[in-house]
C-alpha cells in the first residue's frame, strides 16, 4: 500500500472533522468552540455556542442535518475516516437520558402488568441504546421488526 493510500490517522480524522465543522458553522455565521471525545459509537464532536438552540433546531432536526453534512464532507476528503457524531451543548446526551428514563418507566409497567408495550418509532442508534439497556435484564426483553424501515417501533415484553 502506498503512503498516500494508507488510512488517515485518528489524529488526522479528528483535526479534519473539527476544521470542517468549524468552517461549515462559520460560513453560517456561528462562533463556536468545538471539543472532541470518544463515544461508544466512535468519534464525537461537542459544539458549544451561545446560539445552540438555532443549531439544534426543532427536535434536533438541524443537528441531524449538520452531522450528515459533516460526515459527507469528511468522507469526501478522507474516505476511510470514521463516522463522526455531532452534539450541541450535550443536547443528544440529555435527550438520550430522558428517553431511557421514559423507557425504564415503560419497562416497569410491563413488569407490573405483564402486558407488552410498543415504544414510539426510533432510529437505529436509539434502538441500539434500548436493546443495550435490556440486554442483561432478567425480566424484560426488547424486540424490533425485521423490515427495512428507517424508523422502527420496539416492543418491550416479559421474558
State the Cα angle at 124 between 79 and 28, rounded to 5°: 55
Q: What is the structure's pLDDT at 90?
A: 93
Q: Which domains does the chain have, with CATH numbers?
A: 3-89 (3.30.300.20), 105-158 (3.30.1370.50)
Q: What does the pLDDT look like over 58-110, one tens digit per residue?
A: 888 999 999 999 999 999 999 999 999 999 999 998 999 999 999 999 999 99
Each residue of 101-139: pLDDT tens digit? 999 999 999 999 999 999 999 888 889 999 999 999 999
- What pLDDT does 7 receive? 60
Cα distances (angstroms) measured from residue 80 to each of 2, 6, 75, 84, 94: 15, 9, 7, 12, 30
Amino acid at each position: 500500500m502506498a503512503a498516500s493510500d494508507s488510512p488517515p490517522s485518528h489524529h488526522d480524522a479528528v483535526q479534519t472533522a473539527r476544521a470542517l465543522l468549524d468552517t461549515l458553522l462559520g460560513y453560517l455565521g456561528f462562533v463556536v468552540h468545538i471539543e472532541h471525545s470518544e463515544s461508544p459509537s466512535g468519534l464525537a464532536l461537542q459544539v458549544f455556542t451561545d446560539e445552540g438552540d438555532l443549531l439544534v433546531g426543532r427536535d434536533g432536526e438541524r443537528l441531524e442535518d449538520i452531522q450528515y453534512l459533516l460526515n459527507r464532507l469528511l468522507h469526501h476528503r478522507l474516505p476511510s475516516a470514521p463516522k463522526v457524531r455531532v452534539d450541541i451543548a450535550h443536547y443528544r446526551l440529555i435527550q438520550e437520558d430522558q428517553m431511557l428514563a421514559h423507557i425504564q418507566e415503560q419497562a416497569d409497567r410491563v413488569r407490573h402488568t405483564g402486558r407488552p408495550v410498543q415504544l414510539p418509532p426510533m432510529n437505529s442508534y436509539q434502538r441500539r441504546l434500548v436493546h443495550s439497556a435490556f440486554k442483561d435484564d432478567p425480566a424484560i426483553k426488547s424486540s424490533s421488526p425485521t423490515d427495512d424501515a428507517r424508523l422502527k417501533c420496539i416492543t418491550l415484553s416479559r421474558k
